[in-house]
């Protein structure tokens, strides 16, 4: 074998490896986004199925989600706005936007 053939084979292997690493990295990125969104949906769902308390509106601000679930602002906002089962409501008031966006789970099977 000539050196040019060895280099050609090595280049082909590197090309395939690069594509595989890119696919795995993208899959990992999408899986992380899915898990964050699912964590928020499950957290809001537990608010619906838990026994009601007197002053609990069963909805939370994005700041509340960030605190309760340990997410960053960007992660929480991305997950909230990509979900089909989370209801979003922007309310008037002062302060940062994340303290004015109220979210709740859309109860598709109301028991009451």
| 15 assigned to some structural domain | yes
Element (H, E) at 19: helix 3-49
**Residue ranges making up the domain that contains 61:** 3-105
**At which residue do the structure tokens 């994005």 appear?**
62
| 95 assigned to some structural domain | yes
| 10 assigned to some structural domain | yes
Segments of the chain scoring below 50 in pLDDT:
112
| 81 assigned to some structural domain | yes
Q: Which CATH number goes with the domain that contains 49?
A: 1.10.10
* Claim: this prediction has a pTM higher than 0.85: no
Length of the chain: 112
105 bridge partner residues: 86
pLDDT at residue 98, rounded to an integer: 79
Number of domains in the chain: 1
Cα separation, 18 vs 20, in Å, equals 5
Residues 6+ apart with CB under 8 A from 104: 44, 47, 58, 59, 60, 86, 87, 89
| 112 assigned to some structural domain | no
| 76 assigned to some structural domain | yes
Please state, as a whole number, how many other Cβ atoms lie within 10 Å of the Cβ of residue 84.
7
| 111 assigned to some structural domain | no
| 35 assigned to some structural domain | yes
What pLDDT digit, counting tens, does each position of 25-53 carry?
A: 999 999 999 999 999 999 999 888 888 77
């Amino acid at each position: 074998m000539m050196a040019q053939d060895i280099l050609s084979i090595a280049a082909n292997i590197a090309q395939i490896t690069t594509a595989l690493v890119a696919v795995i990295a993208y899959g990992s990125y999408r899986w992380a986004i899915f898990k964050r969104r699912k964590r928020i949906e499950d957290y809001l769902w537990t608010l619906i199925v838990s026994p009601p308390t007197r002053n609990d509106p069963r909805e939370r601000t994005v700041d509340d989600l960030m605190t309760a679930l340990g997410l960053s602002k960007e992660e929480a906002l991305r997950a909230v706005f990509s979900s089909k089962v989370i209801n979003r409501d922007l309310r008037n008031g002062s302060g940062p936007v994340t303290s004015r966006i109220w979210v709740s789970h859309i109860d598709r099977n109301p028991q009451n």
